[in-house]
Structure 1
Amino acid sequence: MSATEELAIHRHGPVSVIELDRPDARNALTTSMLFGIGAAAAAAETDPEIQVVVLTGAGDQAFCAGMDLRSFTDGARFDTGSEAGAAYERLVRGELSVPVVAAANGTAVGGGLELLLGADIIIASATAKFGFPEAKRGLFPASGGTFIGTRLPLGIALEMTLTGNPITAQRGYEVGLINSVVPPQDVLPTALALARQIADNAPLALTACKELVRLAVTDAAEAIERLDYWQKAVFHSEDAREGARAFIEKRKPVWQGR
């Protein structure tokens, strides 16, 4: 099965929706899917008409059950040296230049939760659960899962990784992993509505906000250095002038991304 058969890419104005489309396999990740997701993410970054990416899964049972173990045991390997592979890695690390909203239509475990952690905002189904069961299988979440402590209190992050036990969407909301918990049928519409709100804002400002807020959590010294760059780039941009003009003229701004 090719990546095009395992993924569905939808366009909603300035929003690109990347949908994992293997509901019968609980949207488990194959290597071809990883490349496909990476390629779609890279395409969104380079398309000036795309301002936000939404990640979701097909069906109502799972966002993603993690790596497809059959694919793994068959010897398939993921090459991060390719452009698509590198883009997937940046997505999982939260380094994609465009904002990413996740619509967690169902449970996400293992690599599926690692993919969710690459999103900036997570909308979750009330029926979903989230966890890292790797320790139960003699493994550990090696594709970004051990960085979950950047989004959660340390004790919760250690509990999830050391026990391998999942948490509910409501618990995820309470500890700050999830932004909103909604009924299953409202997950994607809620995520799209939020994505459109984000897309209404200036692209350059969005890129600056995403990079600086994330860096402030992971590398405060670098965040201070990058703040100087972004302050000059954004405050002297055409979009900054357009934002001021639009406010004075009481109209919607027309962003140029520069």
Structure 2
Amino acid sequence: MSDAAEPAVLTERRDGVLVITINRPEVRNAVNGAVAQGIAEALDTLDAEQDLQLGILTGAGGFFCAGMDLGAFVRGESPWFGDRGFAGIAQRSARKPLIAAIEGFAVAGGFEVALACDLIVAAEGAKLGIPEAKRSLVAAGGALLHLPKRMPYHAVMELALTGDPWPAERFHALGVVNRLAAPGSAVDEALALAAAIVRNGPLALAASKEIVQRQFDWSAAEQWAKQGEIAGPVMTSADAKEGASAFKEKRDPVWQGK
């Protein structure tokens, strides 16, 4: 069990990456008020600090997250935090890219936390699912909103209506999980994926994420204009000129984030 004095959420900086760890293994990293606040504050740090380009969200103790801490909820603790919503992430994630690194399982609200991230790395054999219907509850933390955009209709319905978890391998085949990792190495695999991302221009990363996420709300008539509003400042930035110069001069670019 973790020391009660330890923070519910730990952070570590690693070469431009902020590793965020839910640190309540004694309750399978269930989300209480402290976890929601800790994740929200970590995302605030990620978005605010220029030397951080990407976040990795994971769990301590060999598993990701079991969802809402029902005991804490009964005691009056809220697993929502500000406008970020459930677990400090479900309704408003980070502006910068996020990778979920899953060991063991990510179920119920825990899976919804993972779905609030932009990429998912999962250990082979990890179980992912939304079992809420088994308790006459609804997966209202984002799963029923995100999954229909990422999986075939009938697959989403099976997952939601049976409540049965699926192995990471099935989600990988459906494209929901980006990479599979050997058990115990999900964070290492996520760091390898992060290394391929953080070398790119930070303005381009944030703009690309925003366009991909927001385009579902744009009509065909407005999508090019809306994309231009986001991409235009990046295309005329100092970093864009630096990227072109570095390519021409066969050297690594030096990004300034402006």
Assess same fold via TM > 0.5: yes
* CA apart distance, 1:31: 1.5
Q: Which amino acid aligns with 2:21?
A: E
**2:248 paired with 1:248:** yes
Matches for 1:6-155 after TM superposition, within 5 Å: 6-60=8-62, 62-78=63-79, 80=81, 82=82, 86=84, 91-93=89-91, 95-147=93-145, 148-155=147-154
Q: 1:223 to 1:215 in 2, by over 3 A?
A: farther
Q: 1:224 to 1:159 in 2, by over 3 A?
A: farther
How far apart in 2 are the matches of 1:120 and 1:69?
27
Q: 1:116 to 1:223 in 2, by over 3 A?
A: farther
* Post-superposition CA distance 1:166-212 (Å, at most 9, x none): 11111110111101111113211110111122111001100111111
Cα contact 1:66–1:110 (8 A) shared by 2: yes
Q: Which amino acid aligns with 1:68?
A: D
Gap regions ≥5 residues in structure 2: none
- Aligned to 2:255, the other structure's residue is in SS state coil
Cα contact 1:2–1:32 (8 A) shared by 2: no
* Post-superposition CA distance 1:60-96 (Å, at most 9, x none): 2x2100011111122222454x3xx537678324642
- Aligned to 1:246, the other structure's residue is in SS state helix
Cα contact 1:52–1:98 (8 A) shared by 2: yes
Pick which of 71-80 and 42-51 moved more: 71-80
How far apart in 2 are the matches of 1:86 and 1:153?
27
**2:158 paired with 1:156:** no
- Aligned to 1:56, the other structure's residue is in SS state strand
**2:167 paired with 1:168:** yes
Q: How well do the aligned residues superpose, as a CA RMSD in angstroms?
A: 2.0
Name the count of aligned residue pairs.
Answer: 253
- Aligned to 2:120, the other structure's residue is in SS state strand
Cα contact 2:101–2:122 (8 A) shared by 1: yes
Cα contact 2:58–2:100 (8 A) shared by 1: yes
Task: Give the 4+ runs in structure 1 shifted more than 6 A.
Answer: 87-90
Cα contact 1:27–1:63 (8 A) shared by 2: yes
Alignment-derived partner of residue 194 in structure 2: 195
Cα contact 1:4–1:36 (8 A) shared by 2: no
Cα contact 2:80–2:88 (8 A) shared by 1: no
Cα contact 1:169–1:178 (8 A) shared by 2: yes
- Aligned to 2:30, the other structure's residue is in SS state coil
* CA apart distance, 1:214: 2.0
Percent identity (aligned): 39
- Aligned to 1:24, the other structure's residue is in SS state helix
How far apart in 2 are the matches of 1:79 and 1:65?
15
Q: 1:90 to 1:38 in 2, by over 3 A?
A: closer
Q: 1:153 to 1:59 in 2, by over 3 A?
A: same
How far apart in 2 are the matches of 1:23 and 1:79?
20
* Post-superposition CA distance 1:86-119 (Å, at most 9, x none): 3767832464210001111220001100000011
How far apart in 1 are the matches of 2:140 and 2:163?
14
